[in-house]
Amino acid sequence: LTYSRQVLEMQKCLYQGGDNPSLVKSLNSLVASLYYLGNCQEAFIYCKKALEMQKRLCKEIDHANFAQALSDVGTSLYYLGRYTEALPYCKKALEMHDRLYKGRDHPKKALYLNNVGKNLYQLGHYIRALDCCKRALRMQERLYEKKDHPYLALYLSNVGEIMFCLGNTQEGLIYSKQALEMRKRIFKSIDHQWVAASLYNVGKMLAHLKRFDEALKYHKEAVKTALQFYQQGHKDVKEYLQSLVG
């Protein structure tokens, strides 16, 4: 973090406070460091600065970097739980990308669709969220010919979660199990937070189907996996532990 701040200040001096693509890159590096440390509020401030600079650099004309900056602000607001504010930024990023690439399949478009979907999900618009997340999933499958990919696993997981919230637990479980198996293949023997999340989701859905013995096995594995990289008091660990006594 200190290094990222120093680089940013040096570049500010170098470019005498003017706009420059290198400054945007440094702002984004600082944002990444702040996210890693859990400082989402400060990350949001720098995301906004990067967006304003990118807007001036692009002269407000459609550009892939401009769309990315809009998406980054939307993501920042999402992490802060400000879903109503995040949604317009995510939609603008998607719309700009569609204008640039004429609506063609693209990994970024799949990501932007998913971002719109997850904000709609948090706002309780489950049907619209499902449509966006399914479109993201199908696009990712076409792009990568259904080969394992972290984003494909993410989209499978998101569709499964929305299905569960819509009361379609059986189908949600199918998607969630696919996400879990893919994440296990991607991360192999390495304990990973996304594997833990998938284990918990599968267990939650099995419990809802009253398959309690199976659910307990997945929940125990989720706790064991999460404790490899989280402290005992971490919110995810607490949630996974609660499932063992719920």
Q: Largest Cα–Cα distance in the chain?
A: 64
H or E element, residue 227: none
For position 190, what pLDDT does the model report?
73
Q: What is the pLDDT of residue 2?
A: 61
Give the residues of the chain that fall short of pLDDT 50: none
DSSP string, 39-83: -HHHHHHHHHHHHHHHHHHTTT---HHHHHHHHHHHHHHHHTT-H
Question: What residue type is 166 in one-letter code?
Answer: L
Residue matched to tokens 């995040």: 86
The rounded distance, in Å, linking the Cα atoms of 187 and 196 is 11
Q: Measuring CA to CA, which residue among 81, 19, 79, 78 is closest to residue 51?
A: 19
pLDDT at residue 7, as a whole number? 57
Beta-carbon contacts of residue 103 (< 8 Å; ≥ 6 apart): none
Say whether 136 sits in a helix, a strand or coil: helix
Q: Return the closest-CA partner of residue 92 out of 73, 122, 63, 67.
A: 67
Distances (CA, A) of 104 to 74, 76, 114, 146, 237: 22, 26, 16, 18, 40
Helices (H) and strands (E) in the chain, counts: 12, 0
Predicted pLDDT of residue 20: 78
pLDDT for 1? 58
Tell me if 107 sits within 8 A of 143, measured CB to CB.
yes
Query: What single-letter amino acid sits at 108?
Result: K
